[in-house]
Structure 1
Amino acid sequence: MSTLTKYACTLGHLVARTTQALQRIPHSLIAFIARFSIAAVFWQSGQTKVEGFALDFVSGTFEWGTPHLADSALYLFSHEYKVPLLPAEFAAYAATVCEHLFPVLILVGLATRFSALALLGMTLTIQLFVYPDAYATHGTWATILLYLMARGPGTLSIDHWLARRYRQG
């Protein structure tokens, strides 16, 4: 056997072993990281639309008070975003509620598939009507959301706990 053939066999063996090791990454780990990451994206966006309440564990920002829609959010929905078929004020409130509710549900893993579907709808709306040039970012979001819709939240979730509890009972 030639030296080149030996190296090719060794490389092939290394690639096969690495591939096998990577295939053992647990779905629950991937799903948890996906849930945390996509929840953070939408939560932070929602936080830019409210005043009187701020909660960001990463930056350590905490402001307890009565939340209300920021004037800047109303301005953006009236002048920049211009989502068709929806009045600007309704769109601003709806987006703000959705960007706070669905990330929390996804983070704890409750109604994960449906919450991911809702955020995918928001992502598509943003891509089509608000920022059509941001397809790389929105494609990444869509991929994470589609993964969660298809595979579910994993074992570290309320959905998993509920499914086990009510399947046995």
Structure 2
Amino acid sequence: MLSLSAYRSLQAPLQDVLLLAARVFPGAVFWQSGRTKVDGWQLNDTALFLFQEEYQLPLIDPAAAAALATLGEHLLPVMLLMGLATRLGAAGLLIMTLVIQLLVYPSAWATHGTWAVPLLLLMLQGGGRLSLDHLFTRWRAPTPTPLCTAP
């Protein structure tokens, strides 16, 4: 059994790995989905067909929905992988997940739950120490100056 001090010494590195995994795995799912929607720099016919015939989202043109979803599925996972604006990227993917769950595939709640939980974790915790967010925060944060110095 681990002692309390051993547990505490492992807590930060384990949290770093957990937050990295929470960024990589959902990001990979959305990235791969985005890659199936394009041929080169163009939306492919299959993506347009799916948005027109199968997904049928209300209040938005199918071509616009396909373009926005494809852009999100390429940009937001890269943000997650790099840990750059992690909370914003996770929020964007969570919104996409909710749209898919509520409007497209409502019976796939178990799959969507496995995407939503790590995205919620990232929104709460941020990208962790293995992220550009952490690096930029450390670089940008000024060193506090003491109010008084000891004699």
Same fold at TM > 0.5:
yes
Are 2:36 and 1:48 aligned?
A: yes
Which of 120, 123, 127 lines up with 1:146 in the alignment? 120
Please say which of residues 99-108 and 18-27 is displaced more in the overlay: 18-27
Q: Which deviations, in whole Å up to 9, do the C-alpha atoms of 1:113-158 show, x marking residues without a partner?
A: 0110011000000000111110001011110100000011011111
Q: Give unmatched runs, 5+ long, in structure 2.
A: 144-151
Shift of 1:27: 1.4
Tell me which residue corresponds to 1:94. Answer: 68
Deviation at 1:21, TM superposition (A): 4.7
**Cα displacement (A) at 1:18:** 9.3
For residue 73 of structure 1, the aligned residue among 47, 54, 58 is: 47
Identity across matched positions, percent: 49
TM-score, normalised relative to structure 2: 0.87
Compare relative contact order (CA 8 Å, sep 6+) and give the higher one, 1 or 2: 2
- Aligned-residue Cα RMSD (Å) equals 1.9
2:19 alignment partner in structure 1: 31
- Structure number with larger C-alpha Rg: 1
Alignment length (residue pairs): 140
Deviation above 3 Å: which 4+ runs of structure 1? Answer: 17-23
1:7 matched residue in structure 2: none
